[in-house]
Amino acid sequence: MEEIFSCKCCGHCCHGESTVSMTPDEQEAIAAFLGMEKQELLERYCVRKRGRIEMKVVEGHCIFYGEDGLCTIHEVKPFQCRRWPLHPGILGDESAWRAIKADCPGFSEDAEYEDVCELVRERADIGC
Ligand code: SF4
Ligand code: SF4
């Protein structure tokens, strides 16, 4: 896998005007990790957008993005964060992968589209 993708921990994917949505189970897990009730998590760290619960954006990045450039809830971060940038939207859409690759320095310059698709399928199979 490292030949195709290796995260450089640049933090780019934690920046922007929105974050990812969280399932109720993920909200419970993050709240437990932070030692608080889910309601407190929702009030302090989350926002409702388009009917989904997302993490707040503060100063241009996810509220859980740490000063050291790492995720402060890494152990329990949402599935969408854990699988990024190996998103299933890449499958069957090479332009989607090229758009992601342009923003993510973790992909090898030599990475081939078909190899990336295989990696996405493998990751989907093991559910992480
Ligand atoms: S943009 Fe890519 S290399 Fe940078 S932190 Fe996100 S996944 Fe890792
Ligand atoms: S939860 Fe962590 S990995 Fe996900 S966007 Fe926020 S800081 Fe980044």
Domain ranges of the chain: 12-126
64 lines ligand 2 (CB under 6 A): yes
End-to-end CA distance of the chain: 14
Residue 77 to residue 4: CA distance in whole angstroms: 23
Nearest CA to ligand 1 atom 2: 104
Indicate whether 127 pLDDT > 50: no
Question: What is the whole-number distance in angstroms between the Cα of residue 122 and the centre of ligand 2?
Answer: 23
Instruction: Quickly state the pLDDT bin for 125 (edges 50, 70, 90).
Output: low
Q: Whose structure tokens read 């009030």?
A: 43
Q: What number is the average pLDDT over the span 84-91? A: 91
Residue 36 · residue 128 · CB < 8 Å: no
pLDDT tens digits along 21-37: 999 999 999 999 999 99
Question: What is the whole-number distance in angstroms between the Cα of residue 52 and the centre of ligand 1?
Answer: 24
What ligand is nearest to the CA atom of residue 100?
1
What ligand is nearest to the CA atom of residue 7?
1
Closest C-alpha among 126, 117, 98, 115 to residue 3: 115
pTM (two decimals): 0.90
